[in-house]
Structure 1
């Protein structure tokens, strides 16, 4: 199956009050694990790459080709969206050129009028090629590839202006952050989420989904969140399983040092994590 742009998937999710997972890939193992989990659950999935991960792996085209070829050799039949996560203006344009089916232009750190103008341009460039666009208004807390957000709440009027540009999904700050959540985190601001959901019909995106209590994510989904981004949770699962393998001395048994064996427990942990998250997002199976 070839990539899809996700518009129908996320519109249906908003209308059906469920969400579809957006999982970051970081290497070959991550890519295979995400695809394997989605295929086993028979659900659509969005594979996304950040600017930093793309640089680490090679470039945007290499990442797209890797995902595409793994889909071929693995016999993947579920819909897969190839997405740029938290891209700046140059990255969004590069991924449009590289043939991604979805891109995020993150202009939240720009003056609002500049964010508005550049989002408009990216929407026009992408839609001309059938590519969907995610935009952001209001900072997501934490740090993502050098972009640091304090986690302020999205302004509803600004969100309405961004949505009016024709963006296909909108990320907006509602108290969520990237990375691990601190003990003093106050939780999601559902009052602001309701204001946003009432004001716009665009599918909403919850960034920093890893670490938010499941009941809060489920409530947010019922209120209009249709795309939930997951990265840290998979990283922690991978690290924990790999640590246990090494601490048990498995890498010293026979050829346990072979990277295919050394990385296998962590890779399976990602598969298990993705499948569990798909379940509580409520993503329905492909008919």
Structure 2
């Protein structure tokens, strides 16, 4: 099976009350862990590359790693997505380079500028069979080149979503309802609560339209503990409660982005192995348990949070 777009994925997810996991990829081990988990769970997946991933690994390397996964798992529906495309040129490069989905992130711009940029990308993409995600509202936190303070973040305004979608022609919309980028999403002692009232209102104004959640890692505390016990210093790393993500997946949310959880799992595996075997220097020795951790996280997310197990059949 070649790479697919998210169109059919999202239609089935919306109707079925589940979400597709959009997992960020940076290297071979992460791609392997994600795709092995998805194949075992028989779940469609989105593999996505951020600006930082493209700088680190080069988009061509990432594309060929994904192509390799398609050879190994020919029956697995996989979409290749650009995460947080900063401008038209970056989106164009990824569209021309074989990505089947791109995100244009104009959320920091005034409404009309965001509309104009998203429309330009959508027109170019649709002519080439590629789908487009855009964003309204601004998430706080740090992820690669995306850096937004709490003061500069803002919830999505439901009264704007229909006009935005109508004027741009985008295929899915990322909204801000309380998630945030990175591993430090909430202050210690707080009780994180997503704004389901905003999500419900958006769904009313855009019936059947796929909604996306960015910054949705849950920051598994078992991996934070392993990292800290083996030389790390992750203080007050707190994520989005998984039961709230599952609730969002039952509603209009069809795509949930997961990045920090994969990084934590990988790092925990490396630190734990290196502490137990200080004489090891072969990357295959410490990357093997790290890759296994990534696979375990993805299997858990698919089965218990996204609800997408068996949906690739």
Fold match by TM threshold 0.5: yes
Question: What residue number does 1:17 align with?
Answer: 17
Once the 2 structures are TM-superposed, how far is the Cα of residue 257 of structure 1 from its aligned partner? Answer: 1.9
Q: Which stretch shows the higher mean deviation, 192-201 or 273-282? A: 192-201
| Partners of 2:209 and 2:73 in 1: CA distance | 32
Superimposed CA distance per residue, residues 62-118 of structure 1 (whole angstroms, 9 cap, x where no aligned partner)? 32122112322x234210000000111121111111120000001101121111001
Gaps (5+ residues) in structure 2?
219-239
Query: 8 Å contact 1:24–1:49 — kept in the other structure?
Result: yes
Partners of 1:185 and 1:167 lie apart in 2 by 34
Say if 2:85 is the partner of 1:87: yes
Give me the whole-angstrom Cα distance separating, in 2, the residues matched to 1:141 and 1:100. Answer: 27
User: Once the 2 structures are TM-superposed, how far is the Cα of residue 48 of structure 1 from its aligned partner?
Assistant: 0.2
Matched, 1:26 2:42: no
Aligned-pair RMSD on alpha carbons? 1.4
The 8 Å contact of residues 192 and 241 in structure 2, kept in 1 or not, is answered as no
Q: Partners of 1:130 and 1:275 in 2: how far apart?
A: 30
- The SS at the match of 2:142 is strand
Q: Give deviations 1:38-72, integer Å, cap 9, x for gaps.
A: 111111100000011111002x2332122112322
Q: Give 2:199's match in structure 1, choosing from 193, 200, 208.
A: 193
Contact 2:26 2:62 in 1 (8 A): no
Counterparts in 2 of 1:205-220, with a 5 A limit? Answer: 205-211=212-218, 212-220=240-248
**Is the CA contact 2:70–2:76 (under 8 Å) kept in the aligned structure 1?**
no
Q: Per the alignment, in what secondary structure is the counterpart of residue 263 of structure 1?
A: helix
CA distance, structure 2, for counterparts of residue 245 and residue 120 of structure 1: 48
Deviates more, 1:160-169 or 1:36-45: 160-169
- In the TM superposition, residue 24 of structure 1 has moved relative to its aligned partner by 0.2
Q: Which of the numbers 247, 258, 283 marks the counterpart of 1:259?
A: 283
Q: 2:272 aligns with which of 244, 257, 264?
A: 244
Q: Give aligned pairs, total.
A: 281
Matched residues in 2 for 1:17 and 1:208: separation? 20
Q: Could you say which residue in structure 2 is the equivalent of 1:137?
A: 136
In structure 2, how many angstroms separate the alpha carbons of the residues matched to 1:203 and 1:260?
40
Unaligned runs of 5+ in 1: none
